[in-house]
Amino acid sequence: MLPINLAIVGVGKIARDQHLPSIAGNQNFKLVAAASRNGAVEDIANFTTIEAMFDAVPSIDAVSLCMPPQFRYDAAYKAISAGKHVFLEKPPGATLSEVSDLEALAKHKGVSLFASWHSRYAGAVEAAKSFLASVKISSVHIVWKEDVRHWHPNQEWIWEAGGLGVFDPGINALSIVTHILPTDIFLRSATLEFPENKHAPIAADLHFTNAENVPVHGEFDWRQVGEQTWNIIAETSGGQMVLSHGGATLTINGAAVPAAPETEYSALYRRFADIISNGTSDVDLAPLRHVADSFMLGKRVVVAPFHDSPEAG
Ligand code: NAP
């Protein structure tokens, strides 16, 4: 029944930057509560634990879990067990198995589970998918290079085991590539660079192919200063396709293709409302599987230690 009474858990950067404005702009949802150990949302009921929130506000229908991935399973398990629909931030969990477990539990409890991939809803992604469906692809080059000090200042969880390191942004590229390519790809070789003082990689070089040996090369790097690069370039029988700005801009043979306005998180909440209304779940683990494969197959190289403050090194 509409509106869906929604609660948010883990009030940090992404909750404030994207979830709160998108929820406010969607009439299908009413934000009724938040659970966060330190954060809070104005004008609604706030709690420090998810259990206290469910006890005090039994009318909650659905929750958005916005904490880092290593801490999401327990909250998701409690929410689904309590009969709530669940929106998982990306990546959906710290392991493939825990997300599969949640998927089975959601099915058993008859609630919707949404493993969200926000980059798939960037404005030019669907146009890129349509173009690639109409041509023969000879190669794909993913370049995802950004400055971790700018985008993730002092976020220690991201460097811990399960925090994914450079795959935290890189998985966004993988979520787009697995959506727009007409065939499945799989990893052939990889090199991961780990700072000597961290448990997660700062750079990754990935070589995938599909069954026809079409190369898909990924370069992820967190040490990029100056211009930031989030590009997917495909050489095709119809010319060169460049999907840039994280999926927001598309050119084909240098000519701009019109894109939808930037809608990532508003589109995610529209999708969440749809799957709740249809009684389905949306859990595609392909991007996370490629990250797991990279950790499984990748050669590890130890590189210089990383410090949030460059002077500290
Ligand atoms: P964040 O601000 O560091 O963390 C979000 C909140 O999670 C924190 O404010 C904290 O709230 C809670 N939290 C942190 N550690 C926790 C723990 N050990 N147990 C329980 N809760 C904990 O991170 P973020 O940047 O918002 O990212 C969160 C998720 O969103 C990640 O999976 C990330 O990949 C994804 N995401 C982030 C961005 C971005 O631009 N930052 C973009 C897209 C997606 P309390 O201390 O109040 O509990």
State both tokens at 172.
Answer: 């966004």
Identify the domain boundary among 115, 140, 173.
115
Is residue 307 located within the same domain as residue 230?
Answer: yes
Total number of domains in the chain: 2
Q: Which amino acid is at 157?
A: W
Cα-to-centroid distance, 39 and ligand 1 (Å): 11
Question: Are 61 and 167 in a shared domain?
Answer: no
Domain boundary among 115, 147, 168: 115
> Ligand 1 centre from 9 Cα, in Å?
9
Nearest CA, atom 22, ligand 1: 67
- Choose among 87, 74, 80, 78: nearest CA to 104: 80
The residue whose two tokens read 């589109």 is: 267
Instruction: Please check the confidence at residue 313 and state whether its pLDDT lies above 60.
Output: no
Answer whether residue 116 shows pLDDT above 90: yes
Could you give the CA distance from residue 75 to residue 19 in angstroms, rounded to a whole number?
Answer: 18
What is the band of 290 on the pLDDT scale with cuts at 50, 70, 90? very high
Alpha helices in 82-166 (DSSP H): 96-109, 125-133, 148-151
Residues above pLDDT 90, as percent of the chain? 96
What stretches of 152-281 show up as alpha helix (H) in DSSP?
Answer: 167-180, 264-278
CATH number of the domain where residue 199 is located: 3.30.360.10
Tell me the mean pLDDT in the region 39-47: 97
Average pLDDT, the chain: 97
Q: How far apart are CA 189 and CA 206, in angstroms?
A: 6
The yes-or-no verdict on residue 311 having pLDDT over 60 is yes
**Residue 2: per-residue pLDDT:** 84
Cβ–Cβ under 8 Å, residues 147 and 225: yes
29 shares its domain with 125: no
Whether 278 is covered by a domain: the verdict is no
Asked if 103 and 113 touch (Cβ cutoff 8 Å), the reply is yes
Which amino acid residue places its CA nearest to atom 39 of ligand 1?
14
In a domain, 280, yes or no: no
- Domain extent at residue 41: 4-115
Q: State whether 182 and 83 are in the same domain.
A: no
pLDDT for position 312: 63
Residues 110 and 81 in one domain: yes
Alpha-carbon span 77 to 171, nearest angstrom? 23
Q: CB neighbours of 241 closer than 8 A, spacing ≥ 6?
A: 128, 131, 132, 233, 234, 250, 251, 252
Look at residue 1 in the predicted model and tell me its pLDDT. Answer: 72
Question: Where does a domain end: 53, 86, 115?
Answer: 115
Q: Which carries the bigger pLDDT value, residue 199 or residue 262?
A: 199
